[in-house]
Structure 1
Amino acid sequence: MKLMAAAVGVKTDVIGKFGIMAASKLQGIFTPNLVPYTADGGINEGELRRYADWLIARGVHGLYPNGSTGEFTRFTPEERRRIVAILADQVRGRVPILAGAAEANVKETIRACEYYASLGIRAVAIVAPFYYKLSPASVYAYFAEIGRNTPIDVTLYNIPMFASPIDVPTIQRLSEEFERIVAIKDSSGDIPHMIRMIQAVRPNRPDFAFLTGWDAALMPMLLAGCDGGTNASSGVVPELTRRLYDLTVSYQIDEARRVQYDLIRLFDTMIYSAEFPEGFRAAVGLRGFQMGQGRQPLSDKQKTDLGTLSRELQCMLSAHGFTDQPVGGCSLPAGTEAQPDAADVTAIVRQVVAELSRRGLM
Structure 2
Amino acid sequence: MRPLTADSLRGVWATLLLPLNADDSIDFGRLESQLATLAGSQVDGLYAHGTAGEFQTLTEDEFDRINSLLAGAGKPFQIGASHPSAQVQLSRVERAATLAPGAIQAVVPDWLPLNERELLEFFRRVAGAAGDVPLVLYNPPHAKTQVGPRQLAGLAAAVPTLIGLKTAGGDKAWFDEALQSGLALFVPGHFLASMSLLGAHGSYSNVAALSPDGAVRTADDLDVERRIGEFFEAHVAPLQKAGLSNPALDKFLAAVGDWADVGTRARWPMQSATPEQVEAARPVARRLLPELFRDSW
Other-structure match for 2:156? 175
**Superposition deviation, residue 43 in structure 1:** 1.5
Other-structure match for 2:226? 261
TM (normalized to structure 2)?
0.85
Note if contact 2:111-2:144 (Cα within 8 Å) is conserved in structure 1. yes
Unaligned runs of 5+ in 2: none
The 5 Å alignment of 1:122-141 reads: 122-141=102-121
Unaligned runs of 5+ in 1: 1-7, 13-21, 203-207, 249-255, 325-331, 333-337, 339-362
Note if contact 1:31-1:230 (Cα within 8 Å) is conserved in structure 2. yes
TM (normalized to structure 1)?
0.71
State which drifts further: 270-279 or 60-69: 270-279
1:312 matched to 2:284: yes
Call closer, same or farther: CA 1:299–1:240 in 2, change over 3 Å: closer
Q: How far, CA to CA, are the matches of 2:173 and 2:40 in structure 1?
A: 34
1:157 matched to 2:106: no
Deviations along 1:228-257, whole A, 9 cap, x unmatched? 011112122122210222xx3xxxxxxx11
Aligned residues: percent identity? 21
1:291 matched to 2:256: no
1:103 matched to 2:80: no
Instruction: Give the RMSD, CA atoms, in angstroms.
Output: 2.6
**How many matched pairs?**
288
Other-structure match for 1:351? none
Other-structure match for 2:212? 238
Note if contact 1:130-1:164 (Cα within 8 Å) is conserved in structure 2. yes
Q: How far, CA to CA, are the matches of 1:216 and 1:323 in structure 2?
A: 19
The amino acid across from 1:224 in the alignment is L
The 5 Å alignment of 1:37-116 reads: 37-89=20-72, 91-92=73-74, 95-116=75-96
Aligned counterpart in structure 1 of residue 8 of structure 2, from 2, 25, 33? 25
The 5 Å alignment of 1:215-226 reads: 215-226=189-200
Note if contact 2:43-2:216 (Cα within 8 Å) is conserved in structure 1. yes
Call closer, same or farther: CA 1:299–1:122 in 2, change over 3 Å: closer
Q: How far, CA to CA, are the matches of 1:79 and 1:182 in structure 2?
A: 27
Note if contact 1:271-1:280 (Cα within 8 Å) is conserved in structure 2. no
Q: How far, CA to CA, are the matches of 1:98 and 1:272 in structure 2?
A: 31
Note if contact 1:128-1:166 (Cα within 8 Å) is conserved in structure 2. no
The amino acid across from 2:216 in the alignment is R
Counterpart secondary structure, 1:273: helix
The amino acid across from 1:281 in the alignment is K
Counterpart secondary structure, 1:224: coil
1:119 matched to 2:85: no
Note if contact 2:13-2:46 (Cα within 8 Å) is conserved in structure 1. yes
1:209 matched to 2:184: yes
**Superposition deviation, residue 39 in structure 1:** 3.6
- The structure with higher relative contact order (CA 8 Å, sep 6+) is 2
Counterpart secondary structure, 1:63: strand
Note if contact 2:218-2:292 (Cα within 8 Å) is conserved in structure 1. no
